[in-house]
Amino acid sequence: MARRRGEVLATPEPRAAVSAGRLLRVALVSAALSVACAAIALVALKPRPATPVKVTYEVDLSRAARGELVITMICDGRLPRQLDLVLPPGSFDDPRSAVHARDPQAHALGPDGRQVRALKVDESADGWSLRAGRSARTGIVYSLDLRATPGSEQDVRRHISTPVAGGVRAAGFEIFLEPLGVPVRDLTVVVRNPDDLPVLVPWPAVVRNGMLPPREEGATGTDAPGSNANGTGQRVADASLGYGQGFRPSPKATLPPEQGSSAAAAPVPANLFYHPRDVADLNNALLVCGDIRTYAAQAGDCVIQLATDRQWLFSDEAALDLVRRIARTEMGFFGSAPTDQITVLLSANAISGQDRFDVYGVHTGSSVLVMMDTDTTWGMVEDQAASVIAHEMFHGWLGEAVRQTDPQMLWFTEGATTWYAARMLTAAGVWAPEHARGVLGARLDRDYVNSALRGSLSVAAAAAEIAAPAEQVRFGYAGGVTACMALDEMLAEQGGHARPLDGILRRLYAEEGRAPLTRERLEAAVLAATGVDCGPWLDAHVYGQAALPAIRSML
């Protein structure tokens, strides 16, 4: 009972109404509080978007002459309490052929870079798990021994990252750890080179703080590319490896005469900086140090660079001219270069055995690694190695710029690249048309027409398995070449255009955004360029097992 001045309130009805109102208000307040608590809980438990971090890799070459690398990975930004560090994917995810990182050590770092406290690193199924404790700055140090890489000697992937004379050759996709599930806003690679080894990174890399001496009074002409006045009488040299000298951190280092005056001698620091555009660009790196020589030529806005780590039975100048002719022809076909720099590295073929190839080629980013027998003559270079150079270089457009991500499209990227490599060599005057027809015809007869796999395995399926036995690899590549030629002839017959595949490749390269190459994207480009729906033809002859039509004209 509610009392006022000791008296009972008037009647039961008002008292009942008051109690009911209070109960209703209490219920409403409780409900509101419950809703608010639920909302707060949802906000608190909702996954927050990860904050982008800045990642810097320092590659220490102090032990490179012994075949070892030490890499420090610094993450700047708020990390999750537990950070997964993915081991380098190795050679196409094949653990038997991969380079393995080892001996990880991690520390929380202060603003000045000093180690604040050690962090726990646990081994996981596919790398390491770092207990970062939401550190604002974290450093992880690990080492790689390129001498101890396991794998079959017959597998070319075993020989990409390996010791070379005086140093190492290291592919980015085998040496750089990546933070899993954390967006990266900025990437920097620092190459620490205390022993002044010649270093090659096959794309333009900026050497910071290199100072060119002031111009002499009355001197005329322009500064070397990348240099600029800083208002202090000194010229800042953003020296690019595209200048043809590689990175030689010596006070005697000079820019080539065609790029600047003889006064362009610049002492450069022992650290080399470069900025990959993204993780894919980072993985496409191919860093080489040791006893290497580099030469360069200009083709339009693109620097064509030749590098080698040994003496050959032919001159470096002849090899550079060959590379330049091929590059200029392929650039002319597409209308521009896919990168500012194209580098071809000639190295020794250390693979032995019955199933070996005479020449191996590997394409990583803007670089082409060609491995040949040490007794290769100039005639053998023109007849054999030239096709490998043209093939791998063409992948800069079809495979890199027009990105290859779907294994079911390897028949096209490899088949078209092989066919166009022969056509580019013919257009460049390296091969006579009769020689090109002979090479293509012999390969197609041996590896496709007369293959035991023909009729039992589709061309697309054969080409999709990049680690398949040699017979299947040859069948997939030769079948892809035949399929591209046959597709071109079918489209020419139905659409009335000569060599329609040329325009289709240029269309794919010129498309804005350049989404990864898929079957749907190829069919759309074919339809837009010729008005022909090629889907049923692909179903039968490429993704099915129907024999491809005989080719009437190879060139």
Chain mean pLDDT for the chain = 78
**Sheet containing 286-289: which strands, arranged edge to edge?**
162-164, 167-171, 286-289, 199-200
Range of the domain at 475: 398-555
Q: Which residue has the tokens 């710029």?
A: 401
Per-residue pLDDT reduced to its tens digit, 272-293: 778 887 887 888 888 899 998 8
Confidence of residue 1 (pLDDT cuts 50, 70, 90): very low
Q: Is pLDDT of 501 > 60?
A: yes
One-character DSSP codes across 292-307 = -EEEEEEETTEEEEEE
Per-residue pLDDT reduced to its tens digit, 336-356: 998 888 899 999 988 877 777
On whether residue 159 sits in a domain, the answer given is yes
Per-residue pLDDT reduced to its tens digit, 308-326: 989 999 999 999 999 999 9
On whether residue 287 sits in a domain, the answer given is no
Q: Is pLDDT of 375 > 70?
A: yes
Q: Which of 375, 396, 417 is the last residue of a domain?
A: 396
Q: Rounded to the nearest 5 degrees, what angle is found at the Cα of 212, between the Cα atoms of 208 and 216? A: 165
On whether residue 337 sits in a domain, the answer given is yes
Residue 317 contacts residue 203 (beta carbons within 8 Å):
no
On whether residue 535 sits in a domain, the answer given is yes
For residue 356, what is the domain's CATH number?
Answer: 1.10.390.10
Are residues 252 and 321 both part of a single domain?
no
Per-residue pLDDT reduced to its tens digit, 385-394: 999 999 999 9
Confidence of residue 271 (pLDDT cuts 50, 70, 90): low
Are residues 408 and 347 both part of a single domain?
no
Q: Which of 365, 396, 427 is the last residue of a domain?
A: 396
**CA–CA separation, 270 vs 441, rounded Å?**
52
Total domains present in the chain: 3
Mean pLDDT of 88-105: 65
Question: Of all residues in the chain, what percent carry a pLDDT higher than 70?
Answer: 74
Q: What is the pLDDT of residue 25?
A: 52
Q: Which of 396, 419, 449 is the last residue of a domain?
A: 396
Q: Is pLDDT of 242 > 50?
A: no
Are residues 360 and 467 both part of a single domain?
no
Confidence of residue 487 (pLDDT cuts 50, 70, 90): very high
For residue 171, what is the domain's CATH number?
Answer: 2.60.40
The lowest-confidence range among 108-117, 249-258, 267-276, 383-392 is 249-258
Confidence of residue 485 (pLDDT cuts 50, 70, 90): very high
Are residues 260 and 340 both part of a single domain?
no
Per-residue pLDDT reduced to its tens digit, 51-64: 788 999 999 999 99
Q: Is pLDDT of 48 > 80?
A: no
Token code pair at residue 179: 């933070």
Are residues 542 and 421 both part of a single domain?
yes
**CA–CA separation, 231 vs 221, rounded Å?**
18
Per-residue pLDDT reduced to its tens digit, 290-300: 998 888 888 88
Q: What is the pLDDT of residue 269?
A: 42
| The one-letter amino acid at 427 | A
Handedness of CA 92, 95, 98, 103 (dihedral sign): positive
Q: Which of 26-35, 92-101, 366-375, 478-487 has the highest mean pLDDT?
A: 478-487
On whether residue 13 sits in a domain, the answer given is no
Are residues 355 and 464 both part of a single domain?
no
Confidence of residue 44 (pLDDT cuts 50, 70, 90): very low
Distances (CA, A) of 362 to 147, 333, 505: 20, 22, 22
Radius of gyration of the chain from its Cα atoms, rounded to whole angstroms: 31
